[in-house]
Amino acid sequence: MNKINSTLYLLFFTTIMFSQVYDIKDLGAKGDGKTDDTKVIQDAINRASREKAKLIFSAGIYSTGMIHLKSNVEIEILQGATWKAIPNLSLFPEIKSNADLSQKGGYTMSRRAFIWGDDVKNVSIYGHGTIYPSGDQHEAFPMKEENGAKRPYGIYFRNSKNIVIKDLHLRNSAFWMLRFYLCTDIRVQGVDLYNHANTNNDGIDIVDCHRVVVSDCVIDSSDDALCFKTEAPFGTEDVVVTNCILSSTASALKLGTGSFGTFKRMVMSNIVIRPTRAEKIIHNLKVEKGIDGIAVMSVDGADIEDIRFSNISIKGVLAPIFVRLNQRHKVTHSEYKNVKITPGTIDGIHFSDISATDCGPIASNIAGYPNHPVENITFRNINISLSKTGTSADINKEVPENDRGYPNAMMYGTNLPVFGLYFRHAKNIILDNINLIPAIGETRKPIYFEDVETVLIDNLYQNFKPISASDIIQNKVVGFKITD
């Protein structure tokens, strides 16, 4: 295609996609960082939705209260432009329940948001500018507040379709920065997200959504960085995460804690997990480098299957990998009063080509609870190096089930009796080409199995030297085979 044809094609494509392109300054926005531009920008979005038009935020600081997105709107925030929340809680009214969500079984707890879309479709927000929800302005958004109910999300989509968030700088929300709930066809790409303004400051939470792609993002948050949940029977399914850098003082890459529906067909690859850049730890548990790198949990009845993690580098966390099936079965919302919660399942979790360094002292642990094993767990090409030791007393400590406790690697209240891999209440475990490197002075053995059926081990090493069966603690194990 020659240059003239390329230009004609671009003009033709633009004409089809957008009947109009508006700079919001031309529609009356001041962008001076002082004027309240809420009404102008809301009116511009309403107009763009009617006309299927594109809006441009050119250089400036646009201060608003809550903005309600509409369908068929494309918003480009140019470099040098900042969309900023006015730090005044009264400008962020509660988002009320939506009876239409009952068809998907969703709960409808009232929340607040800076930028939000409800039952919208075909919305794109992109560009190299900044969205700043002013979450670090604590006179408006207090630090201590029950469950974050009064603190606004940064961006919130509910019951929506065909949503794109791309190439933006997202800075300091009062609550979670970016939340999708009961949505379909989502793409988050190239986002640079930093969220260290308050407690419970997640980066991105994707809840009961189908067909999701998250790629090329850098996420650094005080709570979970990239978190998938399911709080309705709709479930979270058909997900790809790739080419991301994640940092958190809690869990970097997490499925749960909310886990009522299903997690199915999720692939996570080419991910780097590193300690946060934040100078101050805000998370309540005060774990400087993070609690777990990868966390998978069914604690409220969820069925989890066909989840794959590959080509991942982890540094600095207490436990590189944490998988837990238990029975917290937390019912916190009145909409669930008629939902019977039965024990969930974890079946088919596959880890491959994962390197973890500067971790510990808690071993990577994979556990169900009595009569409810996790099943079909595969570890291939795994290298785990620890920099912190346990103690000789840890070897003989009884590890509590705590099957109704809040799940994370610290939930047992103790270090585990081994330093490398800990399996309890599990079935069909494959370990292939695993190298475990203890911290200097470590006295614990590398691997523990309890109440486990069918274990196949091939090429298992400690410091690149073969591990024999005598170096593996076994308690109530049926069907154990180790080869080199």
Q: Are 119 and 159 in contact (CB under 8 A)?
A: yes
Contact (CB, 8 A) for 55 and 44: yes
pLDDT-based confidence at residue 111 (cuts at 50, 70, 90):
confident
The pLDDT confidence band at residue 230, using thresholds 50, 70 and 90, is very high
Residue 40 pLDDT level (bands cut at 50, 70, 90): very high
254-272 per-position pLDDT tens digit: 999 999 899 999 999 999 9
pLDDT at site 1:
46
Do strands 251-259 and 292-298 pair parallel, antiparallel, or not at all (unpaired)?
Answer: parallel
Q: pLDDT-derived band of residue 6, with 50, 70 and 90 as boundaries?
A: very low
| pLDDT for the residue 233 | 86
Residue 166 to residue 201: CA distance in whole angstroms: 20
Q: What is the pLDDT of residue 342?
A: 84
pTM summary value = 0.93
Residue type for position 19: S
- Per-residue pLDDT at 10 exceeds 50: no
Task: Please tell me whether residue 89 adopts helix, strand or coil conformation.
Answer: helix
Tell me the mean pLDDT in the region 429-453: 98
pLDDT above 90 for 17:
no
Q: What is the pLDDT of residue 95?
A: 87
Reported as a pLDDT band with limits 50, 70 and 90, residue 45 is very high
Q: Which residue type sits at 27? A: L
The encoded tokens of residue 376 equal 């079909």
Which DSSP symbol is given to 111?
A: B
* 286: pLDDT strictly greater than 50: yes
Segment 446-468 shows an average pLDDT of: 97
Distance separating alpha carbons of residues 275 and 288, to the nearest angstrom: 8
Distance CA 14, CA 397 (A): 67
E strands, 94-217, are 113-118, 121-126, 130-132, 153-158, 161-166, 169-171, 178-181, 184-189, 192-195, 204-207, 210-215
Q: pLDDT class for 298, splitting at 50, 70, 90? A: very high
At 303-312, the pLDDT tens digits run: 999 999 999 9
Query: pLDDT category, 11, cuts 50, 70, 90?
Result: very low
pLDDT at 215: 98
Structural element, H or E, at residue 21 = strand 21-23
CB-based contact 114:153 (threshold 8 Å): yes
Q: Which residues pair with 418 in a beta bridge?
A: 445
**15: pLDDT confidence band, cut at 50, 70 and 90?**
very low
Contact 246, 224 (CB under 8 A): no
Average pLDDT, integer, range 53-64: 98
C-beta neighbour count of 157 within 10 angstroms: 26
CA angle 133, 135, 137 (to 5 degrees): 115
3-class DSSP state of 336: helix
Span 117-160, pLDDT tens digits:
999 999 999 999 999 999 999 999 988 765 667 899 999 999 99
Residue 12 pLDDT more than 50?
no
pLDDT reading at 14 higher than 50: no
Given a contact cutoff of 8 angstroms between Cβ atoms, the answer to whether 432 and 406 are in contact is no
- Is pLDDT at 484 greater than 50 in this prediction? yes
**Strand 303-315 to strand 345-359: parallel, antiparallel, or no bridges (unpaired)?**
parallel
Per the CB < 8 A criterion, the answer to whether 480 and 456 are in contact is no
Q: Is the pLDDT of residue 51 over 70?
A: yes
Quote the pLDDT of residue 110: 64
Q: What is the pLDDT of residues 172-183, one digit of tens each?
A: 999 999 999 999
Among 144, 211, 147, 139, smallest CA distance to 176 is for: 147
Which residues have CB under 8 Å from 332's CB, separation 6+?
none
pLDDT the model gives residue 97: 66
Are 170 and 191 contacting, i.e. CB atoms less than 8 angstroms apart?
A: yes
Give the chain's mean pLDDT.
91
**By percentage, how much of the chain surpasses pLDDT 70?**
90
Question: Out of 44-48, 279-283, 295-299, 329-333, which region has the weakest mean confidence (pLDDT)?
Answer: 329-333
Phi, psi of 261 (to 5 degrees): -100, -120
